Amino acid sequence: MVVTVIIGANADARFDIYINANIDIIKQDVSDGGEYKASTISEQRQKRNNTATYFESTQRIIFPKFCLIIAYLLRTIVQPPPHNYRHAPMTINSVKAKEALDEIASHDIKSISDGGSIAPTNPRCGWVNLKNPLYLRYHDEEWGVPCHDETRLFEMLNLEGAQAGLSWETVLNKRENYRVAFDCWDAKKIARYDADKVAELMANAGIIRNRLKIAATINNAKAYLQLCKEVGGLDAFLWAYVEGRPLQGNWFNGNPSPAKTPLSDQISKDLLKRGFKFVGSTIIYAYLQGVGLIDDHTTECFRHHAAGK
């Protein structure tokens, strides 16, 4: 006997039995020493119909779930989850789980020598873009480190002014272009810039082409040279406000440092009186952080209170 199962559009077509012999009975083996019990075709067809009904009802439940499983497996194979957890969609409801991911995200990820595996390194301030090497190097090696170099103090004062209305990362990415465009921050040369030089700078796509900011830099070079004659330079001028010792902040990522303080207010006023431009209190506070008069590395950061030691 040959049994063929056909799955089609309706129950009768989905499960039909064809018998390859034109007989009226189907012999069924039983356990009574090899004898056979006959059952009629109509009885067998009733069993067939009962089986088809069961199959149909079961299919309605199982088949959709089966399709969902297959679809999920295909999606996983064809489009695996992003390897970079920073770009993976956040679908976690658990607060503790989210906090755990945030803790991981506060660490830099670096390649190590065992075939490309990764390991967390030092935790940093929350504002650092971990994917930008310039930003990492600036944070780790410059930001909050006491600076007494006149050229860098003058450079940073003008870069902070150029940042006004923009992000610091934008300026940092153009820093080398600024050094070339402004003669390595030679104040004497900058103070002599004329209209032709200003036009050249305005055409330079490597810097922020803002006429007011360029004019302020030229003006600041003149004011700086006068400051050098009177008090010796920015180093002596600035560090006198903190008696030569950097101020230590105790901020954390959830409670960042303020935008300005009474100290930045006072220094801003004094610089304005001396003819400097783009030296508002907020700009000056960021400047004091950058050149290390104030160490505001957050308590979670591995550089917290380390720069001034």
Q: What are the structural domains, with CATH classification, of the chain?
A: 11-78 (no CATH), 92-123 (no CATH), 133-295 (1.10.340.30)
Which residues are CB-contacts of 140 (< 8 A; sequence separation ≥ 6)? Answer: 124, 303
Beta pairing class for 247-248 and 118-123: unpaired
How far is CA 208 from its chain centroid? Answer: 25
Residue 228, marked binder: no
Task: Please tell me whether residue 230 adopts helix, strand or coil conformation.
Answer: helix
Contact 293, 242 (CB under 8 A): yes
Both tokens of 88, joined, read 């993976």
Task: Give the pLDDT score at 63.
Answer: 55
Q: How many residues does the chain have?
A: 309
Task: Give the distance between the most distant pair of CA atoms in the chain.
Answer: 124
Q: Choosing from 138, 150, 169, 251, which is the catalytic residue?
A: 138
Residue in 177, 124, 138, 165 with CA at minimum distance from that of residue 290: 138
Is 230 designated active site?
no
Contact 216, 161 (CB under 8 A): yes
Q: Choosing from 127, 168, 241, 251, which is the catalytic residue?
A: 168
* Cα–Cα distance measured from residue 208 to residue 217, given in angstroms and rounded to the nearest whole number: 12
Task: Please tell me whether residue 38 adopts helix, strand or coil conformation.
Answer: strand
Is 85 designated active site?
no
Task: Give the pLDDT score at 244.
Answer: 94
Q: Choosing from 135, 143, 155, 160, which is the catalytic residue?
A: 160
Residue in 184, 180, 211 with CA at minimum distance from that of residue 198: 211
* Cα–Cα distance measured from residue 162 to residue 34, given in angstroms and rounded to the nearest whole number: 101
pLDDT in tens, the chain (309 residues): 443 333 444 444 443 434 343 334 334 444 444 444 444 445 555 555 555 554 455 555 555 556 656 665 665 454 444 433 333 333 334 444 445 434 444 443 343 333 433 334 689 998 899 999 999 999 999 999 999 999 999 999 999 999 999 999 999 999 999 999 999 999 999 999 999 999 999 999 999 999 999 999 999 999 999 999 999 999 999 999 999 999 988 877 767 778 899 999 999 999 999 999 999 999 999 999 999 999 989 888 988 877 655
Residue 139, marked binder: yes
Tally of CB atoms within 10 A around 185: 22
Residue 305, marked binder: no
Is 36 designated active site?
no
Residue in 194, 220, 196, 199 with CA at minimum distance from that of residue 209: 199
Task: Give the pLDDT score at 300.
Answer: 87
Amino acid (one-letter) located at 232: G
Contact 287, 157 (CB under 8 A): yes
Contact 277, 216 (CB under 8 A): yes
Q: Please tell me whether the overall predicted TM-score, pTM, comes out greater than 0.75 for this model.
A: no
